[in-house]
Amino acid sequence: MSLDLSNPLFWLSAFIGISLTGISKSGFAAGGGVLAVPILALWMPVSQSIFLMLPILLMMDIKTIQYYHSHVQWSVLKKLLPAAIVGIAAGGVLLNQLNDEVLRLLLGILCVVFALWHNLAPVLGNIPGGSYLWGSLAGFTSTVIHAGGPPLNIYMIAINLPKLAWLATTGIIMGLINLTKVIPYVASGDWQLTTLYYSIMLFPIAWFGTWAGKQIQGHISQTQFLFFCRCLLLGSGLVLIIKVV
């Protein structure tokens, strides 16, 4: 499947998928970022849509960190980051070799279950090694299919982190995860210069999405924020499941 830049449906799909990703990153802590890959994959190979999104995600991470850096909870970051690095390494080894249909289905089911039964939060937050479990899963799924947001948000909801601290800490973690992912992506040999060029062309949409997310989050309460994050988890999970079935 070759990408036809003259097709207006590609640009419409890119605007929707990337805008939602930017809004989710800077407004709702990255829960909906997984939506962009399946939308873009309508017009290009799934592997190339994954490579296409990495520079865009990095640009969004930089803007999100710029917005909220003063609210970072470093104690939470220190718990999650080492596990995320392990997950990235595992994902890098299996990059382009893993049957991601099974991974998408399991992650999708997990997201849907948690979004609908949020009373599981205290249990998930207090299980032994919870930060290692969700941190490593975030690094792994982010490397393979850019789906690191849902498992990371499961942990953030579980520990009931305040809104701005949630946005700031998630922004830092996802930024470091995405930056580290450059290593296995380059090592795979499948990241084409043409794909990088397309990524740069889509930067204005990414900037718009992160700006819109910042404006939205300033007008919602903590309760509304948690509700929207659960909705994004539900939406992400359903998209993952639909892509498989």
Listed by start position, the domains of the chain span 8-244
Angle (nearest 5°) at CA 60 between 186 and 45: 50
The answer to whether residues 158 and 124 touch, using CB atoms and an 8 Å cutoff, is yes
Residue 135: Cβ within 10 Å count: 28
Who contacts 81 (Cβ-Cβ below 8 Å, separation ≥6)? Answer: 135, 173, 176
> What pLDDT shows up at residue 238?
84
The Cα 171–Cα 83 span in angstroms is 16
> What pLDDT shows up at residue 31?
56
Region of residue 185 (left: phi > 0; alpha: psi -120 to 50; beta: else): alpha
The answer to whether residues 51 and 197 touch, using CB atoms and an 8 Å cutoff, is no
> What pLDDT shows up at residue 122?
61
Per-residue pLDDT tens digits for 36-47: 877 787 777 777
User: With a cut of 50, which residues of the chain have pLDDT below it?
Assistant: none
